Structure 1
């Protein structure tokens, strides 16, 4: 029997990278997953690859109406939720002196506002004893030139789970942050090669992580294997944040 047998999971940003890898793994471990993505074509392709135990709901986590539609879909299918993996996020480089209001608002709207309302709007459908996972980043703990607005968004959600651990304890709902180091995803592929090379050079293990490696950590936090784990930030980063 799989570690998530009979469970229902919602995974935002589930069409590529970490979210897609987690959705595939969760289904392999017995879960039914609802995945979101902003682009319908990519979402359809992802759901087809994940298999029959998946439903795709197109939407942008920074738009509350799209989140309402996500949970209306879950409810319409007669489901309740055991795992919320608020994974959707965006990273962009911009140095001090060149920060624009658009850059700031975009990152905080998706990474912070999106994570908050993904969880808050799930609460009425969330089973007691459920698991909440937020995708953080090693960037929340390391000062990276031109990448610190992104890092600040991830530092913000770290505080979310500290408070939620207390606020949701009567329902036995666990809240944790999963913080990858540099990972081989389309988001990284869009960054300047010299910036990525500089970051990789700081990883003690000497390489980037894979989405599959991060997904295994997400499975741990989603499953009963982590039944006594809440309020933490789990770094899966090749040691980058630890030295």
Structure 2
């Protein structure tokens, strides 16, 4: 393991791009593998951040393509300092606005890819390495009209925090990042014109501050990273109030019935 690398999924824009920007400043990293579906956007990252960037165009909702990435990792046998599982998406709508295929695809990307990439990478991680999995404020409670997304992010949060305990003996940390609304392209994909959907994006922040906080919290060994007073308030409330009450508050906030 002569080479030290970082792997960032969902790297082509938004929060993923901000992680790439931060990692590009780390001298100990030989390469940063940037993974997303859009090869052109990945190439733009390489042009912007330099020769450390290795673009890898893969659709991580596809198990075959995940295995292709696994084979690349095994062949390289590099030390993986960071794995940042950022790939994922939401649909703001009712259960019957999505096909079965679309619903399962969301689960495959938001959950299956996170688990698979972690299992592929952990054997190549040394003490002091970090896994950063992007969950969401949506993980704090069930969210009607975002039912699959919020459920997948609850999985990511619980899985990551439990994994962090299991990896303590290896001195590898796993951190679940739980941001609220971030000003990224997630909304362009999430808003599909459904009759009932989220419309109040209170407390929206820029992705750079979330990425910076996540990196700091990971280095401090925290198993969860929560940025901003708005999200911290929601996190605290979710510990005190029954989920039925939290769902009612969500519906009222979003002007949904």
TM-score, length basis structure 2: 0.79
Match of 2:227 among 229, 233, 236: 236
SS in 1 for 2:78: coil
Q: Report the Cα distance in structure 2 between the residues aligned to 1:26 and 1:73, rounded to whole angstroms.
A: 21
The corresponding residue for 1:170 is 169
Structure number with bigger Rg: 2
Q: Report the Cα distance in structure 2 between the residues aligned to 1:65 and 1:169, rounded to whole angstroms.
A: 31
Q: Report the Cα distance in structure 2 between the residues aligned to 1:55 and 1:14, rounded to whole angstroms.
A: 11
Q: Does 1:9 align with 2:11?
A: no
Contact 1:26-1:219 at 8 Å conserved across structures: no
Q: Report the Cα distance in structure 1 between the residues aligned to 2:5 and 2:218, rounded to whole angstroms.
A: 10
Q: Is there any run of 5+ residues in structure 1 with no aligned partner, and where?
A: 1-5
The alpha carbon displacement at 1:238 in A equals 4.4
The alpha carbon displacement at 1:98 in A equals 4.2
Contact 1:178-1:218 at 8 Å conserved across structures: yes
The alpha carbon displacement at 1:130 in A equals 1.3
Q: Does 1:198 align with 2:200?
A: yes
Q: Report the Cα distance in structure 2 between the residues aligned to 1:93 and 1:33, rounded to whole angstroms.
A: 32
Q: Report the Cα distance in structure 1 between the residues aligned to 2:227 and 2:188, rounded to whole angstroms.
A: 19
Q: Report the Cα distance in structure 2 between the residues aligned to 1:222 and 1:73, rounded to whole angstroms.
A: 26
Rate the CA distance shift 1:97–1:60 in 2: closer, same or farther, 3 A: closer
Q: Is there any run of 5+ residues in structure 2 with no aligned partner, and where?
A: 238-257
Rate the CA distance shift 1:234–1:110 in 2: closer, same or farther, 3 A: same
Contact 1:181-1:238 at 8 Å conserved across structures: no
The corresponding residue for 1:219 is 215
Q: Report the Cα distance in structure 2 between the residues aligned to 1:74 and 1:14, rounded to whole angstroms.
A: 17
Q: Report the Cα distance in structure 2 between the residues aligned to 1:191 and 1:98, rounded to whole angstroms.
A: 12
Query: Where does 1:48-87 land on structure 2 (aligned, <5 Å)?
Result: 48-74=47-73, 76-77=75-76, 79-87=78-86
The corresponding residue for 2:244 is none
**In angstroms, what is the RMSD of aligned CA positions?**
2.4
Q: Which has the larger displacement, 112-121 or 49-58? A: 49-58
Q: Report the Cα distance in structure 1 between the residues aligned to 2:189 and 2:89, rounded to whole angstroms.
A: 11
Contact 1:135-1:179 at 8 Å conserved across structures: yes
The corresponding residue for 1:3 is none
Number of equivalenced pairs: 227
Q: Report the Cα distance in structure 2 between the residues aligned to 1:174 and 1:54, rounded to whole angstroms.
A: 24
Q: Report the Cα distance in structure 2 between the residues aligned to 1:24 and 1:151, rounded to whole angstroms.
A: 28
SS in 1 for 2:129: strand
Q: Which has the larger displacement, 130-139 or 70-79? A: 70-79
The alpha carbon displacement at 1:189 in A equals 3.3
Q: Which has the larger displacement, 173-182 or 56-65? A: 56-65
SS in 1 for 2:59: coil
The corresponding residue for 2:255 is none
SS in 1 for 2:123: helix
